[in-house]
Structure 1
Amino acid sequence: MPEILRQIVFIGLLALIALAPLPFGSNVPWAWSLMSLWVGVLIVLDAIACLLSPPEGERRFFKRIKIPLVLFFIVVAWIVVQAIPGIVPAIAHPIWSEASAQLGVNLAPRVTIAPDLTWDALMVLLAYAGVFWLSARYGRKRENASIMLSFFVIVSTTYAIYGLVVFFGGWETILWYNKTAYRGDLTSTFINRNSYATYAAMGLVASLLYLVKILARDLRGGGTVRQIMRNMMDGTLARAWLPMVGILSTGTALMLTHSRAGFVSGMIGVFVVLVCLRIGKVIPARFGNGLIAGIVLLAVGGFAISGSGLEERFGYLESAQDMRMHLYEQVVGAASQAPAVGFGYGSFEPGFRPFKDLRLSGLTWSLAHNSYLEFYFGTGIYGLVIIMCAFVCIFFGLVKGAFLKAHDTAYLITAVSALTIVGLHALTDFSIQMPAMGAAFVFVVGLGFGKSIIDTKGRSRQ
């Protein structure tokens, strides 16, 4: 029974990653609610399986994950305190007392100004944590990890090919709905081009690492270039068609999103992959240098063929950046009104509304276009620092595992690159706040984290 339950959970996790981008990147209430319910059911089933028969290596796994886990739940506990009425009246937002006086009704004070939005955002945050938890647990097993990486390559490639077909077909649609924004940009099934750009960039690095994983055995085998190429032609390259298609499709789709920050962060992510491969000596030096040169030529060639729209977007960088910097200044100024407690997680739009000046008043600004500042605005500076510490612990654990030459280094490098891409893009956008993008992100990072658990001899624990 435990093994049957674990198979159900594993298949359910893969199905979630495959289907989450379909309904507009799950950026509609029913989709992110269903995604959260789905993750919750998988967590319960996995817990039942563990109670019936704990898998091998549980003690080491909990020892490895306990610091980021504790830090995350400190933030979750604070968000719950923000949303519960009357729990700490001394730090409640003054809007509740003002509303009580105006309405003549005694309203229970809360820290958050929009409790429904806070509970909703917390639900999605817990879903992210659940995907990370399951990905890390099931990714420890080598067979599972191989399936998870190749499956993500298949999924990201499929969405890229769909986006390319729609783009070159001239259909301004998402599924069977007409686009209401980002016409002329490739968005696949996502509403926002920047969110899909981040997703495509993660698919690009996953495809690249999957290709290296397939070729690594022949490259490490030594011999002359001719001998290595002969070994590859005997069958290795035939197995490499999937990541090669993935690299071409996701790379082209990334450029055709015309997302400036998405393209730049994606290219930095690819550069991180190449540096890790070179320094970690995953492949021989001469092939590492050749791979770097090949990727650079591919990027330049692809940009020359399909990057005209992206080039035009870079032309607007100065004026757009000026508006963004003004927005960030206003957000920082607003957050400084409640720096320790915040305005409530997920309540940016109603919370920021009174702080918009004339220059910003023409747009809604439902999001801050900077996930760090928005988290600071919602939870306060302590919440931001604590959640960042959790991510830093995960990041350095991955880097340490990658450079200690643990087995299956490709998974760790993929996670390091994904963290780099999303972390950089979060400085200028909100891709991680799109549920399907966020779920894919923690899926990839969780997979790497599961493979980063190594013993003192540098061997990965299964």
Structure 2
Amino acid sequence: MSTALFLCLAWGILTLWVRDRWAVASFQSLALLLAAACLVDAWKAGRQPRWHPLLWPLAAVPCWGLCQLAAGWSVDPWNTSEAVLIWTGHLAVAFVAVQLAGETRRFRLLFAVFGTVLALEAMLQCWTAGGTVFWLFDSGYTERVFGPFVYHNKFAQFVELVLPVVLFQSLKDRNRAPLWFAAAALLFGGILASASRSGLLMGLLELGLLLATAYISGTARGKVLVWSGVSLALLAVAGGLLAGWSGMLERVTGLDPRMDLRLPIWKSTLAMIRERPATGFGLGSFPIAYPAYADMDIGLIVNTAHQDWLQWAAEGGVPMLLAMLWFTGMAAPRLLRSLWGVGALVVLVHGLMDYPMHQNPAFASLLIAVVVLAVTSND
């Protein structure tokens, strides 16, 4: 089942660039079929399907969306219905992950290899494909298209998710440790190539968390800790040599907080939250509800709040925000102890300045799967 779950998620990631409905629908259908297969398997074995407390907040979200529809609170019932389907798909993926009963080795290995290969392809594609996806398909953009990720920050978030898994593999597979370390350097180079400022910040935070967690848990002490720190520093240098620092330096040195369009969007989103703190405007309704609260025209269509946590509060009110805090709060300690799940926690933190959990359902499902697998892992 771990291979089937991985293939389902890999399909979702590889089709992120597709704008037509069939891509998301096929991914969600596969997730629901896998969940149904787990139920049938449990029934045939004469046992109850496994359950985990992490599933409760994930189940609460689509239920809350249905409540918004039934009560007439949603300003965009169609998109709220769509969001209910998306969160049901997330729940299905998490349910399948729980059924693996902590046996995560195969999934972890497949994900580490897949993530490394895709990162390499993505960088080569960005440098040579002129905005096409896999050198074949028109993306609608002419630059900074990384594999199936048409938004550079999403690619950086994907790398954040994979990097600790690869580093963990270097600890578990000492015979191939140099190969895994090279893969980690490649991945860090991917963050630099993306020129994502928040991605670089989160990547450095991730490396620091890994060192701190390894020290606190006793995995690395004394000379081992020093060597680990030196290794991570060399990793960053190697990544810089591979991808170059120029693009990232231009983005960082050219930063002007006054020109950051996210700030007025966040301010307007806070006004939305103050207007409907208890009920929200309806899951998935942000693009419809936002214009009435925008206090300035930034010249662009605003589809997201560019901040996951604010958008959850605006669309779902306090109940939605509490559900996600519940999910993250339960998972965080175990994600840190697992080491390889640190990336999932970092991506959730990245949601304080971007939107990794919005617009791309398959990536959000992948993030949730990594959270559940790391929390329930026996390693």
TM-score (norm 1): 0.76
Decide whether the 8 Å contact of 1:26 with 1:436 is kept in 2.
no
Q: 1:32 aligns with which of 24, 40, 49?
A: 24
The one of 243, 260, 271 equivalent to 2:180 is 243
Partner SS, residue 297 of structure 2: coil
In the alignment, does 2:310 pair up with 1:373?
yes
Report the equivalent of 1:437: 363
1:77 paired residue among 43, 63, 66:
63
- C-alpha distance in 1, partners of 2:101/2:188? 26
Partner Cα separation in structure 2 for residue 279 and residue 377 of structure 1: 37
SS of residue in 2 equivalent to 1:116: helix
Query: Superposition pairs for residues 277-316 of structure 1, below 5 Å?
Result: 277-303=214-240, 306-316=244-254
Matching of residue 48 in structure 1 with residue 7 in structure 2: no
Aligned counterpart, 2:102: 140
Choose which of 323, 346, 355 in structure 2 pairs with 1:421: 346
Deviation of 1:271 after TM superposition, in Å, equals 1.6
Matched-pair contact (CA < 8 Å) for 1:136–1:446: yes
The 8 Å contact of residues 344 and 370 in structure 2, kept in 1 or not, is answered as no
Alignment of 1:450-461 (within 5 A): 450-451=376-377
Structure 1 partner of 2:160: 201
- What does residue 324 of structure 2 align with? 387
What are the superposed Cα offsets for residues 157-195 of structure 1, whole Å, 9 maximum, x if unpaired? 1111111221333533212234434x4435221111111
Q: Deviations over 1:255-278 (max 9, x none)?
A: 101111112112211221121112
Instruction: Find the residue that maps to 1:432 and give its secondary structure.
Output: coil
Give the aligned residue type for 1:44: A
Q: Which residue of 2 aligns with 1:406?
A: none
User: Which deviates more, 271-280 or 296-305?
Assistant: 296-305
Q: Does 1:121 align with 2:83?
A: yes
Q: After the TM superposition, which of the residue ranges 267-276 and 367-376 deviates more from structure 2?
A: 267-276
AA at the equivalent of 1:365: V
How far apart are the structure 2 equivalents of 1:358 and 1:120? Answer: 29
Q: Deviations over 1:87-115 (max 9, x none)?
A: x3xxxxxxxxxxxxxxxxxxxxx111111
Amino acid aligned to 1:335: I
SS at match of 1:162: helix
Structure 2: runs of 5+ lacking an equivalent: none
Amino-acid identity (%): 19
1:47-446 residue pairs with structure 2 within 5 A? 47-53=39-45, 62=51, 65-66=52-53, 68-84=54-70, 88=71, 110-141=72-103, 145-169=104-128, 171-175=130-134, 176-181=136-141, 183-185=142-144, 187-215=146-174, 236=175, 239-240=176-177, 242-303=179-240, 306-319=244-257, 322-360=260-298, 362-399=299-336, 402=337, 412-415=338-341, 417-433=342-358, 434-446=360-372
Structure 1 residue 126 displacement after superposition: 1.8
Distance 2:262 2:200 in 1: 18
Q: Which moved more, 1:111-120 or 1:26-35?
A: 26-35
Change (3 A) 1:27 1:313: farther
Q: Per the alignment, do residues 201 and 357 of structure 1 end up closer, same or farther by CA in structure 2, a change over 3 Å counting? A: same
**Contact 1:395 1:419 survives alignment (8 Å):** no
Give me the CA root mean square deviation.
2.3
Evaluate the alpha carbon distance shift between residue 358 and residue 73 of structure 1 in structure 2; reply closer, same or farther with a 3 A threshold. same
Larger radius of gyration: 1
Q: Is the 8 A contact 1:27 1:435 kept in 2?
A: no
Distance 1:48 1:210, change over 3 A: same
Offset of residue 324 of structure 1? 1.6
